[in-house]
């Protein structure tokens, strides 16, 4: 491949308004590396790895997808969720943290209107954190998922409702079997409308008296989201038995919590 041709294409993709922020950030890193005279092959290998979580599923925006296919030599990916130029600019991103991100992908990924679900890290202070760094709990990041969705098909209200069903909003020290600050329950809003919906939904949950402990899930403004290493992407597809076992454990703990709350309510009624 000709380096000058690649540079020109990178430049055009970076300026393309349809290119998403995640894509643009990685394309910019590649462009700067080539301008700094780094080896073309090494730069492209890194870029392919960075784009692979979405590229392997055909969920990059159209022009970036074409570029990805060109530099990988891969065949086009056929998928019902592929982003089209006509609606790419209308897509939105929802970011949720609620324990290990392995368990948060499938419940969203299998819903209509979902373009992609990316596991990653957000909310911290360390740039480009690794899984091992976040696992220790010293970077300030939480494990989270970034969900690109079509609001014409799937509403943010529905996504928040799913989030509440998957988490324990009363646990300030983690989620279920996942313990530590990196597993906190957080809704990260990306605009004012999401902020209002998340706060209203949280207040409704508080007033429902569904739980016997305070609701501690945080609602925070979204900060930089760092996609996790490729190993963690689509984990439920790679290791379905492992994820199902984790899901069963979470479900059992949720059931025990509901039984405990119901028992306390019954005791109050008998008094």
Q: Which two tokens stand for residue 150?
A: 């079509």
Q: 143, 134 in Cβ contact below 8 A?
A: yes
CB of 234 within 8 A of CB of 105? yes
Q: What dihedral angle (degrees, nearest 10) is formed by the CA atoms of 180, 141, 167, 99? A: -60
Contact predicate 213/170, CB 8 Å: yes
Tokens of 28: 């910019």
Residue tagged active-site, from 100, 105, 147, 159: 100
Inter-residue contact 183 to 262 (CB < 8 Å): no
Beta strand residue intervals within the chain, DSSP E: 92-98, 114-122, 142-149, 174-175, 178-179, 185-189, 218-221, 225-227
User: Catalytic: 103?
Assistant: no
Which burial class, exposed, middle or buried, applies to 223 when counting CB atoms under 10 A from its CB (0-12, 13-18, 19+)? middle
3-state secondary structure of 265: helix
Closest CA to 70 of 44, 46, 31: 44
Other CB atoms within 10 Å distance of the CB of residue 91? 18
Smallest Cα–Cα separation from 189: which of 111, 96, 100, 114?
A: 96
Catalytic residue numbers read: 100
């Amino acid at each position: 491949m000709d380096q000058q041709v690649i540079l020109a294409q990178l430049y055009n993709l970076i300026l393309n308004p349809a290119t998403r922020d995640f894509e643009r950030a990685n394309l910019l890193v590649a462009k700067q590396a080539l301008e700094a005279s780094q080896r073309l092959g090494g730069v492209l290998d890194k870029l392919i790895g960075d784009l692979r979580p979405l590229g392997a599923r055909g969920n990059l925006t159209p022009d970036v997808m074409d570029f990805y296919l060109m530099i990988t030599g891969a065949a086009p990916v056929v998928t019902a969720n592929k982003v089209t130029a006509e609606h790419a600019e209308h897509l939105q991103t929802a970011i949720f943290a609620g324990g290990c991100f392995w368990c948060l992908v499938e419940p969203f990924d299998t819903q209509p209107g979902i373009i992609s679900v990316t596991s990653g890290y957000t909310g911290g202070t360390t740039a480009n954190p690794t899984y091992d760094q976040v696992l220790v709990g010293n970077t300030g990041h939480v494990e989270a998922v970034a969900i690109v969705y079509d609001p014409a098909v799937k509403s943010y209200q529905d996504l928040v409702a799913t989030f509440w069903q998957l988490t324990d909003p009363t646990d300030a020290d983690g989620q279920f079997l996942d313990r530590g600050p990196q597993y906190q329950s957080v809704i990260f809003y990306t605009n004012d409308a999401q902020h209002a919906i998340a706060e209203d939904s949280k207040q409704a949950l508080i007033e429902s008296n569904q739980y016997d402990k305070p609701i501690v899930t945080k609602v925070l403004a979204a900060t930089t989201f760092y996609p996790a290493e490729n190993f963690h992407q689509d984990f439920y597809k790679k290791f379905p038995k492992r994820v199902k076992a984790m899901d069963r454990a979470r479900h059992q703990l949720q059931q025990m919590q509901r039984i405990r709350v119901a028992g306390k309510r019954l005791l109050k009624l008998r008094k």
